[in-house]
Structures are given as structure tokens and as C-alpha cells.
Amino acid sequence: MLEDLLALIFKSIPGFEGTMTDRRSADEQLDLLIPNDSPATFWQQTQSQYFLGECKNWSGPVDPKEMDAFYQKIARRYGRCRLGFFIAVGGFTRGFGNVLQAERKGDILIVPIDRAQLDELVHAKDRNAKLMEFNHRAVMDASKDT
């Protein structure tokens, strides 16, 4: 499963070893729950005790309604989660990027990762640095005018 692969990847990064898959409650399911115990200043500055991961192993692109649902999962974490990684091997629709830019308020950031970027992450010598690069890209993309 894609969730298991991502859990292994996150667990290989110092401070993310506690990553858990398939966390369920009465009203929602989390693909990845990533406790942020990283010693890296970069991740400490996110002021996020947890990161969430959403995994879509679909053959086609993910549309904006899936991002909205993921955004709400992050928002429901009592302010303890401000960062999410949305992994979609089938990519994202154009509308996904537009909605992502429109949601650039508050302190929640969603980092989209497609098949090519997942491949980069799998083969990266320094996965921590690669994840930081993806985070930086998401911040810069959110800064663009819509």
C-alpha cells in the first residue's frame, strides 16, 4: 500500500520515526500521522506537533474536493497540526492548484507530492533535505498571485 511506503519513508527521517498509518476515529480516517520529534530547526519552526499525510494511489489526478477534505482534517487537530503532505501518484487536476492557492490563509500548509516527486523522495540520499525542498516549493507556490 502507498501508505506503508510513505510510512517507511517518513520513519527513515530523524524525528519522524513515530509515523503511524491508518488512524481511525468515529468520523474520519488519517492515512499518516507523523509526530514531529525532529531535532532539525527547520521542522521545529513549523510550530506543528504533528504532520498529516494523505495518500491517493489513483490512476487519475486528484481533484480539489479531496484537498478540501484533507484541509479540514488538518484544521480539526486543535492547532497541533499545521502541515500536511498530500501524495497523489496520479497527479493533481489544474483546479487542485487553484484551490490550494485560494486556501493560503491562516497557518496551514499542504505540500502536494506527485509521482515524480515521490520517486525523487524514494531515491534521495537525504530525504530530510528533499522533504524540506518540497515544503519550500509549496510555500513559494502559495505566494504566487492567483
In which band, very low, low, confident or very high, does the pLDDT at 33 lie, cut at 50, 70 and 90? very high
Give the pLDDT band (50/70/90) at residue 101: low
Cα separation values, 127 from 9, 64, 72, 103, 132, Å = 8, 27, 27, 27, 8
pLDDT of residue 146: 44
Q: Convert the pLDDT of each residue in 70-85 to its tens digit.
A: 999 999 998 899 999 9
CATH code for the domain defined by 2-142: 3.40.91.50
Average pLDDT, the chain: 89
Domain edges within the chain: 2-142
Q: Give CA separation, 80 vs 27, 47, 48, 108, in Å.
A: 19, 8, 5, 11
